[in-house]
Structure 1
Amino acid sequence: MRRTILITGGAGFLGSHLCDRLIADGHDVICVDNYFTGRKQNIEHLIGHPRFELLRHDVTFPLYIEVDEIYNLACPASPIHYQHDPVQTTKTSVHGAINMLGLAKRLKCRIFQASTSEVYGDPSIHPQTEDYWGNVNPIGPRSCYDEGKRCAETLFFDYWRQHRLEIKVARIFNTYGPRMLPNDGRVVSNFVVQALKGEPITIYGDGNQTRSFCYVDDLIEGFVRLMGSPRELTGPVNLGNPGEFTIKELAELAIEMTGSKSTLTFLPLPQDDPKQRQPNISLAKEQLGWQPNVPLRDGLRHTIEYFDRLLSEGAAA
């Protein structure tokens, strides 16, 4: 059934891919972004499409609009960006959630929250399951994002309990692919851009900390399945790739796949940086029939091609 769907943060990395997917599925999409980290280039191919509408708006202010579903993706998601203005980051997570939940309550529509594996903090259990409460520093430099997202989850579940609002909460693990910002400080974009430029690849810590990398197309499929799941499945649901790699392994793979002569440089580990991060996706497999299908090498190839094109155009210099 054709729906009108609001995507906040729709010009961002994940949001723009979700716009593409929902347009392809035949829906009308209203993309909202304030361009703090989103970019018009990510959705410029959709401008002029009869089922696509673009609004410049900051979700910390109320939005009055008529839609059938809401995906709330608005929030800077990389440490460089969310630590640039930590107060605004917390406001985006908390005030943004309040405003979008209020809109969903008025419209009596289903709403999706893009939460994060950062709610688990520096986890003391491995891999992480949805019933784990996390190990989070509430007053550190990453807290604006970690605690902001935790508070947003609290709000979603209180609206579900108090107002019977239909909610869907996804906890997103490391995701990569085309349209990542070249300067966002995330490990995949950092390593690929440095390798393409032939610069030393910067590893924080000894490189033995682990991450799990999910290609963006796989993640968006998980979003759509969770949003379309029965009302009773509120989440939170882990969405990510359980394949675990050390940071050093990723750096070496980036060098190999780009044919780069880059060397490895080691710097101190930032405060509160998680040492392990791997999703347990049993719930997503069981309830959504979802699991990632794109191998790391295949996803990296697409990502490298994207950044190579950006560099050749001078956009990632």
Structure 2
Amino acid sequence: MDKKPILIFVNPKSSQIKEYTLSFRRIGLALLIVLAAVVFSFKYSVHLIGKLSQNSRISQLEKENAILRAELKKISDRIAELRSNLDLIEEKDDRLRAMLDLPPINEDVRQVGIGGGESFLANSELGSVSFGSELIETLNLLEKLDREIRLEKVSYQKLLTTVERRQDSLQYLPALIPVQNAYLSSGFGNRIHPIRKRRQFHKGVDLATNRGTPVIAPADGYVTFAGTNGGFGKFVQINHKYGFETLYGHLDKIYVRKGQFVKRGDKIGEVGSTGLATSTHLHYEVHYNGKPLNPVNFFLNDMTY
């Protein structure tokens, strides 16, 4: 006969003893129920912990997204401010170009700018972000701003080069009267030659003054001739760069030599009447790219030396 397990229970107050006979089947069932409860409790605990962790992560991500959105808003505002400043720079660029007689930058060129890669619109990874469209728009604006700034830098360099060249060319522009206290005794153009007595084109002007009056260089340049030159008598020629040359005839004395660099206001000789001359005067010519021009048009009263 099989022995069955007996569960004895003693009441501590009444000292009564109770016996319970258990079958192996009931014990197995109880153990199975306990095991199932333990497994269920474990799985539920794991699920609960995972859910709490996930909720915590979602909360953290939401906070991070809020911070990123706020920063993105600040960046967008900053881009708008830079856009406004760039518009002012573009307006000044147009005004400077007008002052320097340069063509304005075409509006289509301004819209495209210089350089730059592909647009961020095609980036599918950014599009999957919760605020991806805002981010893509901001990045595209930033890229466009970068291209326009590079365009303005190139334009500014061109403007600077033009201004520097104009300043430099002004230094070489024959803009002074080469003799002081003189009067125009013969102008530029057709006239009757005072000695040959025939109609002839006068390539310069005659500036009458006292013998020995200093003759000065009207601009910086290099002396290309200094000596006697036929009917011009004692003669000096100066190359002033950028196509300008000046010629001086009938000098009494010459103070420069060929190849010498002279600056505006330097004394190059004295007025005389050497060569074919009827009186004391300076014959003065201004040439541009080999063509004689009326020197009177270059006498600027506000130029000093």
> What TM-score does the superposition give when structure 1 sets the normalisation length?
0.17
Work out which structure has the larger RCO, using CA pairs closer than 8 Å and 6 or more positions apart in sequence.
1
Between Structure 1 and Structure 2, whose CA radius of gyration is higher?
Answer: 2
